[in-house]
Amino acid sequence: MTINRELFDQVMVPNYAPSAVIPVKGEGSRVWDQDGREYIDFAGGIAVNCLGHCHPALVSALKEQGEKIWHLSNVMTNEPALRLAKKLVDATFADKVYFANSGAEANEAALKLARRFALDNFGEQKSQIISFNKGFHGRTFFTVTVGGQAAYSDGFGPKPGDVMHCDYNDLAAFEALISDNTCAVMMEPLQGEGGIISPEAEFVQGVRELCTKHNALLIFDEVQTGVGRTGELYAYQGLGITPDILTTAKALGGGFPIGAMITTADIAKHLKVGTHGSTYGGNPLACAVAEAALDTVNTTEVLDGVKAKEALIRELLTAINDKYKVFSEVRGKGLLLGGVMAEQYKGRAKEFLVEGIKEGVMSLVAGADVVRFTPSLVIPEADIREGMARFEKAVATVVANNA
């Protein structure tokens, strides 16, 4: 059997349009394709591979657990799930943990819990959910409706009801929208897919205060920002406020599929036995790998290192931009950074990604106007410099093509 890009078109549903490049091996922040060509990975599987590829701690955890027990239904619990839950509780505001397989499933659980909490405590009229334009919370029908990008949710029939949106960082619009009928507010503490948009301090503080005033639960979607991405274990820890519910996935497993919803005991008690569940949630293999990832990331060395690597990437991107004038700004926090297209390159972010692949560097986009960088949290300085040198060649090509 010949395994190539053409086979994708033959056998896969056409909802993706992948590159012709098929990676077959990764080590650290470097990846090799079928032809043995090397790439430096600034994409990290969209902020998933927080420790790069094939990190020894994760490989060891997978092998060790793989020789013990792979799966149990939730009729029983298991040791890796309990260890991981205890470490999440110890490291955060939360008292209780629910495990799922993905960020969308963690968000689905959070939204269902918020609705159930409001129903039990205040009555069925308190069902409104508010989220923010350009937000992204997953692809289930509930989460994609809550996400603030209609292009992702239109075209599938009637949407879940009582979901409202307003602009991120617009506190006045949010205050006008929230009421005693609002059961929950879901927000990213730094918008990822929407363009790498950081919250203003006054905005995030105001959202927290208004949620408290109206007895609405504040849900932080930390699927992309969590597990060290911003230089704190979770981004809320650097914002000076605490959510009521937090969701985490992507980097939590370092590449192995897992998601979690964490919350307080008072809120968690409303998901009584039988109200929600997941066949694979809390899977021993996933939890063993995630425990190793969390242990490795949640150290002063790694988290401080994220901030140092951010400074280096910003320095190198600024140097590139001084020469080529392709960005209007570089924004974001930690190793969730975005180069925003200057006016003459608006809508052309993907060109930089495509040319980057040709030069041996992998990046991402966040919409049509932002080139996104989400490398490993432990990427060596040498790989950052080499990757940025390759990215500069890609920039030069795009600029030359624009001349």
Annotated binding site for N(2)-acetyl-L-ornithine: 139, 278
Token readout for 33 is 């394709």
Distance between CA atoms of residues 48 and 293, nearest Å: 11
Distance between CA atoms of residues 401 and 390, nearest Å: 17
Distance between CA atoms of residues 230 and 233, nearest Å: 8
Distance between CA atoms of residues 225 and 119, nearest Å: 30
Catalytic residue among 221, 244, 369, 383: 221
Distance between CA atoms of residues 328 and 237, nearest Å: 29
Nearest alpha-carbon partner for 167 in 135, 205, 189, 201: 135
Catalytic residue among 126, 134, 250, 333: 250
Distant-in-sequence, close-in-space partners of 7: CB < 8 Å, separation ≥ 6: 1
Catalytic residue among 99, 117, 136, 220: 136
Q: Which residue(s) pair with 30 in the sheet?
A: 27, 40
Residue 261 dihedral angles phi and psi, to the nearest 5°: -115, 130
Tell me the H-state helices in 123-178. 141-146, 150-153, 171-177
Whether 136 is a known active-site residue: answer: yes
Q: What is the DSSP string of 191-216?
A: BSTTT-BPPPHHHHHHHHHHHHHTT-
Q: From the annotation, which residues make up the binding site for pyridoxal 5'-phosphate?
A: 103-104, 136, 221-224, 279
Q: From the annotation, which residues make up the binding site?
A: 103-104, 136, 139, 221-224, 278-279
Whether 250 is a known active-site residue: answer: yes
Q: How many residues does the chain have?
A: 403
Q: Which residue(s) pair with 217 in the sheet?
A: 184
Distant-in-sequence, close-in-space partners of 139: CB < 8 Å, separation ≥ 6: 104, 152
Proportion of the chain in helix, strand, coil states, percent, rounded to 5? 45, 20, 40
Whether 122 is a known active-site residue: answer: no
Q: Look-up: residue for tokens 């699927």?
A: 223
Distance between CA atoms of residues 137 and 105, nearest Å: 10
Catalytic annotation, residues: 136, 221, 250
